[in-house]
Each structure stands twice: as C-alpha cells, then as structure tokens.
C-alpha cells in the first residue's frame, strides 16, 4: 500500500513540476517539487530493504515538506 501511494505521489509531483515549468514558475517552487520527487524515488528504491523493525520508506518520506 505504501508503494502504491508513493508512486501516486511521485506521478502527481511530476505533473505539478511540468505545469510549473510551463508557467515559468519561480525557481524555489520548482526546486521544492523536484526535491519531493527525488525523495519519492529514493523511498521507492529503499522499499526493497524495508521491514517492520525499520520502515525505511517512512524514514525517507518524513523529510517531504
């Protein structure tokens, strides 16, 4: 369930980034969305090493602002 939700978040952030870029948005907005996309990708990569003792996906995604 966490992987599906993170994938959806990534897809939404990718779309938002494309819209902001097309609108020639402020660099800070673009950078914020880009950083969140990277965190989602990192979380999905880390999911393979997750277990109940150490939820790595949660540890990574908690940094999204």
The pLDDT score that the predictor gives to residue 48 is 72
Q: What residues contact 64, with CB distance under 8 A and at least 6 apart? A: 36, 39, 40
Residue 56: domain span: 2-61
- Given a cut of 90, whether residue 43 has pLDDT beyond it is no
What's this model's pTM, rounded to 2 decimal places?
0.77
Q: Give the DSSP letter string of 47-58.
A: GGG--SS--HHH
Q: Total domain count for the chain?
A: 1
Q: Could you report the per-residue pLDDT of 44-55, keeping only the tens digit for each? A: 888 777 666 667
What does the chain come to in residues?
Answer: 65
């Amino acid at each position: 369930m966490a992987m599906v939700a993170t994938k959806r978040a990534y897809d939404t952030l990718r779309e938002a980034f494309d819209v902001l870029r097309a609108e020639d948005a402020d660099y800070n907005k673009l950078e914020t969305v880009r950083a969140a996309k990277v965190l989602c990708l990192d979380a999905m990569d880390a999911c393979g090493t997750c277990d109940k003792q150490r939820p790595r996906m949660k540890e990574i995604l908690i940094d999204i602002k």
